[in-house]
Amino acid sequence: MAGYAAANAFLDALAAYRQAEGLPGQSIGWGYWQQDTGMTGHLTDTDRNRLTRSGMTPITDEQGLALFDAAVRSPRPHLLATPINLRRLTGSAPPLFTALVRSGTARPTATAGTRNTGLADQLAVLAPDEQDKRVLELVRNTTAAVLAHASPESVDTSRPFSELGFDSLTAVELRNGLADATGHRLPATLVFDYPTPHALARHLRSQLVPSAPQLVLHQLDTLESTLAAITGEDIAGTKITKRLQGLLAKLSRFDSPADEANILDDLRSATNEELFKLVDDDLNIS
């Protein structure tokens, strides 16, 4: 496939070069033909359904001849000859076809620094088992749509994607669908990193619903930024300090006995000078 693409790129450039030199030359990029050929004979129903969802429709012999006649009458060195179903593109146009879709109808895509928090907000109010069920349902429904299954129930969530019939193209299509649904950037290797729908759902849930420690750390970052704006002369600072000290005192209860044993060992082995320095530091004596 890489060699085929390189050969096509060369022919496109050759046609443009010949026309620039005043010589005849034209390169036509064809879509896929309705009649089975060496390039399309291996396509399965899933492959054809994927092409249809992307807006491409097969070329009949009559359409092909008409497109060829139209192409040779054009002065352009490179043309794309394929019927496109614009209704299929509405709201889901691939980047190559976005110029053909009316402004405002193309689907939004997740970009760096942006997050569609709708699903995350919905999950936040659910119990953990309901969160798992909701995300697994999303993965299952999207998988069934990509594979053109009549029902999501036909997808065995414990089977590897490779056994379900996924290849590199359907893997990318699944990634794109889940990226749109979650608002998260997802790698093209998603189905290889998390090889079953169940494993993938667990990963997505961890991305959408942060763990308690992650949530606390995020809140502490926000608190730190807020405290930076408070001066030492602020009256509320005293109340804030006492409140924080109270929280730290509560957290100290979670110290393990091993930590306490280590502290006692350190005190027993400390020199007099080290013990005096510890007391001075604790009482702020200078």
Instruction: Report pLDDT digits (tens) over 175-208.
Output: 988 998 888 889 988 999 999 999 999 999 988 8
Q: Does residue 101 carry a pLDDT above 70? A: no
Most trustworthy range by pLDDT among 100-109, 133-142, 205-214: 133-142
Q: Does residue 110 carry a pLDDT above 50? A: no
Give SS3 for 28.
strand
Q: How confident is the model at residue 221 (pLDDT cuts 50, 70, 90)?
A: confident
Give SS3 for 56.
strand
Question: Minimal CA–CA distance to 197: which of 263, 152, 236?
Answer: 152
Q: Where are the beta strands (DSSP E) in 20-146?
A: 27-30, 78-81
Helices (H), strands (E): how many in the chain?
14, 2
Give SS3 for 106.
coil
Q: What does DSSP assign to residue 90? A: T
Q: Does residue 111 carry a pLDDT above 60? A: no
The Cβ of residue 176 has, within 10 Å, a number of other Cβ atoms equal to 19
- pLDDT at position 193 is 93
End-to-end CA distance of the chain: 76
Find out whether 135 and 189 touch, Cβ atoms under 8 Å: no
pLDDT tens track for 144-184: 988 888 889 999 999 999 999 888 878 888 998 899 888 88
Higher pLDDT, 90 or 51: 51
Find out whether 81 and 31 touch, Cβ atoms under 8 Å: yes
pLDDT tens track for 248-257: 777 776 555 5
Q: How confident is the model at residue 113 (pLDDT cuts 50, 70, 90)?
A: very low
- In degrees, rounded to 5, the angle at the alpha carbon of residue 68 between the alpha carbons of residues 65 and 72 is 145
- pLDDT at position 106 is 45
- pLDDT at position 114 is 39
Q: Where is average pLDDT lowest: 6-10, 131-135, 165-169?
A: 165-169
Q: Does residue 272 carry a pLDDT above 50? A: yes
At 68, list the tokens: 């060829």
Percent of the chain having pLDDT more than 90?
28
- pLDDT at position 28 is 93
Q: Does residue 115 carry a pLDDT above 70? A: no
Q: How confident is the model at residue 100 (pLDDT cuts 50, 70, 90)?
A: confident
Q: Where is average pLDDT lowest: 35-49, 85-99, 129-143, 191-205?
A: 85-99
Q: Does residue 56 carry a pLDDT above 90? A: no
